[in-house]
């Protein structure tokens, strides 16, 4: 009898989950998904607890990863959400995303797709071009922050009997011998032997994987860091856009520095929220399937790709977020009119404004103390262009929250099968710098899960 093959998946975000689903029906294999956070039911209980009783770490970590309590957008266009097109042809990526989409639907994602009206999308593109903006049309399903964990719970129940989930176990080391992976060791000293290891650490584990990659001598390419603010406006200002596209991807290049500024994570009728990542508080946005606010919010981010000799863009982003935390004891909120006038916002000024903040805990203040001039200049210029696209965005009453930072991990050198320079060691998802969203993260896990299953069936490894 052939011996049973062992597979370890590090991380239970979408990439790790889809790798596990792909391996669920492969005979002769035992799969362990090792996740440093809690399982989905414990995460749901934590999220529903009173704020003072909540553990903020588990909002980003555990079964489902950071995406469990995200806005739940499924972006179906290959051009948005990751780097898979760097490894596969456009046709292969498109086919993979279609398959992933069908799987999300099977587990409860909504049928409705935004962005399918070609004429309406073309009109948005024309409006954007007249405002010196590039409009990237995308097709999106929106699950909502309330529905997303329910869908992920269904996936948890669909795993085969050969898949074990080890929650609340942090992997500390990847074990390698003679150029091939042999297993992993947890922080508690437990060793899991493995013929194949799939690293899917999510954003919470990106720093750990970068350090492990350096220890193992893996080559890497640094991804850019995105730093900016979350913009909140009355929902009516964006209604025409959000009803057509739900989320408009708009790109602007600043006149002063030629920096790339983009909108990201648009949340129609949503709320601004905070996130805690290893002690650093940043800002994000949510919108729900079952309830609405009077506002729409979106991120406005400036992308920076550092060159030699600097190799720590994540550390730089954390530094700026910590600076905002130091000034405000959390998140800063400022009216756009106050920022333009060079003065801080106060509670009284915000109360007189036309936009009621959805993040009550934000501290009125001055973003210019936390963001470098280069970023602020590019953001202000982008807001002027966006105001031409959707009049009202540039209102003096518009609220800006900061700092919002997107930490994109350094990307290891990978093959077309997402295999590292260590044999049978694969890297997938956002934490490996391969993807930037739920769908492409899921696709990367599905791709690697199937490749591992193929190798096992062929008697390789």
404: β partners: 228
- Separation of alpha carbons 275 and 313, rounded Å: 19
pTM of the entire structure? 0.89
What is the DSSP annotation of 142-187?
E--TTTHHHHHHHHHHT--TTEEEETT--EEEEEEETTEEEEEEET
* Closest by CA position to 141, among listed 115, 177, 103, 171: 115
pLDDT band, very low/low/confident/very high, at 409 (cuts 50, 70, 90): low
User: What pLDDT does residue 305 have?
Assistant: 83
Phi and psi angles of residue 312, each rounded to the nearest 5 degrees, phi first = -135, 65
Give the residue-averaged pLDDT of 143-172: 95
Between residues 310 and 200, the one the model is more confident about: 200
pLDDT at 267 over 60: yes
- Give the bridge partners for 286, in sequence order: 271
Residue 1 has a pLDDT of 56
Pairing of strands 332-335, 363-364: parallel
Average pLDDT over residues 194-218: 92
Domain ranges of the chain: 5-110+147-220+412-457, 118-138+224-406
In this structure, of 140-149, 300-309, 340-349, the range with the lowest mean pLDDT score is: 300-309
pLDDT at residue 247 greater than cutoff 70: yes
pLDDT at 381 over 70: yes
User: Which range, of 58-62, 83-87, 249-253, 418-422, averages the lowest pLDDT?
Assistant: 58-62
Dihedral of alpha carbons 130, 134, 137, 140, sign: negative
C-alpha torsion angle, residues 194, 195, 197, 198 (rounded to 10): -130
Q: What is the CA radius of gyration of the chain?
A: 22
Mean pLDDT of the chain: 93
Report whether 198 contacts 428 (CB < 8 A): yes
The answer on pLDDT for 417 being more than 60 is yes
Q: Is the dihedral of CA 252, 258, 260, 266 positive or negative?
A: negative
Topology adopted by domain 5-110+147-220+412-457? FAD/NAD(P)-binding domain (3.50.50)
| Residues 312-321: tens digit of each pLDDT | 787 888 899 9
What is the mean predicted confidence (pLDDT) over 427-441?
Answer: 92
């Amino acid at each position: 009898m052939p011996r049973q093959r062992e597979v370890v998946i590090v991380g239970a975000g979408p990439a790790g989950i889809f790798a596990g689903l792909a391996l669920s029906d492969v005979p002769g294999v035992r799969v362990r998904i090792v996740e440093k956070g809690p399982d989905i039911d414990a995460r749901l209980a934590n999220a529903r607890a009173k704020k003072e009783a909540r553990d903020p770490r588990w909002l980003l970590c555990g079964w489902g990863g950071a995406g469990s309590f995200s806005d739940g957008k499924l972006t179906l266009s290959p051009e948005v959400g990751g780097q898979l097109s760097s490894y596969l042809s456009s046709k292969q990526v498109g086919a993979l995303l279609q398959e992933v989409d069908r799987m999300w639907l099977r587990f409860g994602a909504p049928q409705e797709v935004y962005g399918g009206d070609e004429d309406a999308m073309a009109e948005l593109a024309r409006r954007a071009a007249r405002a010196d903006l590039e409009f990237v049309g995308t097709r999106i399903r929106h699950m909502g922050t309330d529905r997303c964990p329910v869908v992920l719970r269904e996936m948890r129940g669909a795993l085969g009997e050969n898949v074990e989930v080890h929650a609340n176990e942090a992997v500390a080391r990847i074990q390698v011998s003679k150029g091939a992976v042999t297993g992993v060791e947890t922080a508690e000293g437990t060793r899991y032997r493995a013929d194949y290891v799939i690293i899917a650490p999510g954003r919470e584990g990106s720093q750990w994987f970068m350090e492990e990659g350096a220890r193992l001598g893996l080559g890497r390419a640094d991804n850019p860091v995105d730093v900016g603010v979350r913009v909140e406006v009355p929902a009516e200002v964006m209604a025409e856009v959000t009803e057509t596209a739900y989320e408009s991807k708009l790109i602007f290049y600043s006149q002063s520095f030629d920096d790339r500024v983009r909108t990201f994570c648009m949340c129609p009728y949503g709320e601004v929220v905070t996130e805690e990542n290893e002690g650093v508080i940043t800002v994000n946005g949510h919108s729900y399937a079952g309830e609405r606010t009077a506002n729409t919010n979106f991120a406005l981010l400036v992308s920076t790709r550092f060159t030699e000799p600097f190799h720590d863009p994540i550390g730089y982003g954390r530094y700026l977020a910590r600076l905002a935390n130091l000034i405000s004891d959390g998140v800063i909120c400022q009216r756009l009119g106050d920022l333009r006038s060079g003065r801080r916002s106060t509670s009284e000024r915000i109360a007189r404004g036309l936009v009621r903040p959805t993040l009550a805990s934000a501290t009125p203040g001055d973003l210019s103390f936390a963001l470098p001039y280069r970023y602020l200049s590019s953001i202000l210029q982008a807001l002027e262009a966006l105001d031409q696209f959707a009049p009202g965005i540039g209102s003096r009453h518009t609220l800006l929250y900061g700092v919002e930072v997107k930490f994109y991990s350094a990307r290891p050198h990978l093959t077309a099968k997402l295999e590292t320079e260590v044999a049978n060691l694969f890297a997938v998802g956002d934490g490996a710098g391969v993807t930037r969203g739920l769908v492409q993260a899921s696709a990367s896990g599905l791709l690697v899960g199937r490749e591992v299953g193929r190798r096992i069936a062929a008697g390789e490894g």
